[in-house]
Structures are given as C-alpha cells and as structure tokens.
Amino acid sequence: MKRSRKRATRSKPPSSKATAGHSSRRWSAKVTKHSDALDLEHDVFRSKDPRKIALSLKHSAEQSKRRKGTSYQSAMSMLNFYINRAGKNLPPMQKRILERAKDELRGVFGRA
C-alpha cells in the first residue's frame, strides 16, 4: 500500500529574468546581431526564400575570420540558434521556410 505524500512547496526566489527588467528580455536578438562568429545580412531570417537564406549564411560564414568551426558549422549553428530562440514567436510559415533553409544550406555546402 503506497502512501501519497504532499510535498511542501517552496517559493522560488525571483529569477534573474524577472528582476533584470526590459534590457535583457531580448538577449538572443543581441547575440544574433552582434555574434562574434558571423556578420549577418540585415533581416536575413525574414526572407521568404530558403535558398536566399542559405546562400547569405554561407557567404557570411565564409567571409568571417572569427569563427571557431568550419563555415558549414557556423552557418548551420546560427540558423538553428535563430529557430530555437524564436520559439513560439516564430510564425509556422516562417519556421517551415527556415527548416527548408537547413536543407538548402546542406546542399550549397555539398552535404546533401
């Protein structure tokens, strides 16, 4: 016979997000804009053309002298970072375009 125990709920201290205020709400936008790995074309992730996104990321990655990995790794990482950080705020249609851009990116780097 199992006994059910009620756990005492502890109140958590306010997270740094809650106390930091407005300035840190968009930290991922800062990372995208000021990434040390790639200098991205303005609004590259808003394009409706997956191939254009892939080619722009490839160009940015190949031009960068500050990246740590290969051009392909840097480009794919930035695309994944953007998709993951946009989360629920990313419209489904744009998410599909960005997912297709991953396939295009593999293709333009010859990794299809």
- Residue 67, pLDDT > 90, answer no
pLDDT digits (tens, 9 = 90+) for 9-56: 665 555 555 555 555 566 666 766 665 657 788 889 999 999 999 999
The domain spans of the chain are: 49-112
- Residue 109, pLDDT > 90, answer yes
95 vs 50: CA distance, rounded Å: 10
Enumerate residues 6+ apart whose C-beta is below 8 A from 25.
17
